[in-house]
Structure 1
Amino acid sequence: MQLSILDQSVACAGRGEDHALRDTLDLAVHAEALGYRRFWVSEHHNLATIVGSAPEIVMAAVAARTRRIRVGSAGVMLPHYSALKVAEQFRVLDALAPGRIDLGVGRAPGGDMRTALALNPNAHASADAFAQQVVDLRHWTRGLPHQGIVAHPRPPADAGIERAPELWVLGSSDYGAQLAAHLGLPYAFAYFFMDGQGVEQALHLYRTLYRPGERHPRPQATICVWALAADSDDEAHHHALSRDRWRLDRARGRLLPLQPPDDIARRGFGADELAQLAPMRRKAFVGRADRVADALRALATELQLDELVINTWAHDPAVRRRSYALLAREFALPATEPATAASPAAAAS
Structure 2
Amino acid sequence: MNSPLISRLRLSVLDQSVALAGRAQNESIRETLALAQWCEALGYHRFWVSEHHSHPTIVGSAPEVLMAAIAARTSRIRIGSAGVMLPHYAPLKVAEQFRVLDALAPGRIDLGVGRAPGSDFRTAQLLNPDTNASAHFPQQVMALQAWTLEGESGGPGLPPGHPGHGVHAYPHGPTAPAIWMLGSSDYGAELAAHLGLPYAFAYFITEGQGAAQALALYRSGFRASPALAEPLATLCVWALAADTEAEARHLFKSRERFRMDRNTGRLGPLLPPDEAARPYSPAEQAQLDQLRANALVGSGAQVADGLRRLAAAHGVDELVVITWAHDPAARRRSYELLAREFDLG
Same fold (TM > 0.5): yes
| Preserved contact between residue 72 and residue 102 of structure 1 (Cα < 8 Å) | yes
Q: Structure 2 length normalisation: TM-score?
A: 0.93
In the alignment, the residues of structure 2 paired with residue 179 and residue 299 of structure 1 have an alpha-carbon distance, to the nearest angstrom, of 24
2:76 is aligned with 1:68 = yes
Which SS does the other structure have where 2:172 is aligned?
Answer: coil
Alpha-carbon shift at residue 288 of structure 1 (Å):
1.1
- Please say which of residues 91-100 and 144-153 is displaced more in the overlay: 144-153
Alignment correspondent of 1:170: 182
Q: Which runs of 5+ in 2 are unaligned?
A: 1-8, 152-156, 159-164
1:253-272 equivalences under 5 Å are 253-265=265-277, 267=278, 269-272=280-283
Q: Which runs of 5+ in 1 are unaligned?
A: 336-349
Alignment correspondent of 1:127: 134
Alignment correspondent of 2:314: 303
Alpha-carbon shift at residue 269 of structure 1 (Å):
4.5
2:216 is aligned with 1:204 = yes
| Preserved contact between residue 39 and residue 71 of structure 1 (Cα < 8 Å) | yes
2:59 is aligned with 1:38 = no
1:276-295 equivalences under 5 Å are 276-295=287-306
Q: Residue 220 of structure 1 aligns to which amino acid in structure 2?
A: L
Which SS does the other structure have where 1:152 is aligned?
Answer: coil
Alignment correspondent of 2:169: 151
| Preserved contact between residue 196 and residue 283 of structure 1 (Cα < 8 Å) | no
Which SS does the other structure have where 2:110 is aligned?
Answer: strand
Q: CA RMSD in A?
A: 1.1
Q: Percent identity?
A: 63
In the alignment, the residues of structure 1 paired with residue 21 and residue 235 of structure 2 have an alpha-carbon distance, to the nearest angstrom, of 29
Q: Deviations for 1:223-274, whole angstroms, at most 9, x for unmatched residues?
A: 0000000111111011011011011111111110000101124x46454432
| Preserved contact between residue 45 and residue 51 of structure 1 (Cα < 8 Å) | yes
Q: Residue 39 of structure 2 aligns to which amino acid in structure 1?
A: A
Q: Structure 1 length normalisation: TM-score?
A: 0.92
Match of 2:95 among 87, 90, 100: 87
In the alignment, the residues of structure 2 paired with residue 279 and residue 201 of structure 1 have an alpha-carbon distance, to the nearest angstrom, of 22
**Residues matched between the structures, number:** 326
In the alignment, the residues of structure 1 paired with residue 185 and residue 293 of structure 2 have an alpha-carbon distance, to the nearest angstrom, of 20
Q: Residue 127 of structure 1 aligns to which amino acid in structure 2?
A: S
Alignment correspondent of 2:228: 216
Match of 1:324 among 309, 313, 335: 335
Q: Deviations for 1:259-305, whole angstroms, at most 9, x for unmatched residues?
A: 0101124x464544321212223332001110110011011011000
Alignment correspondent of 1:344: none
Which SS does the other structure have where 1:169 is aligned?
Answer: strand
